[in-house]
A = this chain, B = another copy of it.
């Protein structure tokens, strides 16, 4: 079920689409919008291919990242997380809730003016990664509820 997008990139690298690689890619596509770690992918992959080895998962994730099929990043530390690349050029950014640790994606791209400023100073900007640390609306609401004693009890 891999799309042309992924197919082309694999062929360009002359890599075979084995069942293991297909399983990993399927998992990533089934979890679009989430950011999975290698062990999470491995756990899910075991349910589809019980004999798959953890090393293959690591190798596949690494390879797909080098082909720019997956984007590799680190939110917390000591652990990489992967997600499907945006097919259309520019990637997105992330808000990480300081309370529930949920990761919300931001599509706004108001960084162009900053990039332009720096290009004028002689840099050639290739990519950027923005992480905003915040409290999400849900958590803020929950906090309000908690501090408002329930009158009915």
Residues of chain A whose beta carbon lies under 8 Å from any beta carbon of chain B: 74, 77-78, 80, 95, 98, 106, 108, 110-111, 113-115, 117-118, 121-137, 140
Contacts and interface: CB of A to CB of B under 8 A. Distances in A.
Nearest to A104: B123
Contact of A134 (B117, B126, B140): B126
Describe A's contact surface by its main secondary structure.
mixed
A140 to B, nearest CB: 6
A123 B139 CA distance: 9
Nearest to A79: B77
A95 B118 contact: yes
A86 to B, nearest CB: 16
B118 A110 contact: no
A37 to B, nearest CB: 12
Nearest to A116: B110
B134 A124 contact: yes
B133 A130 contact: no
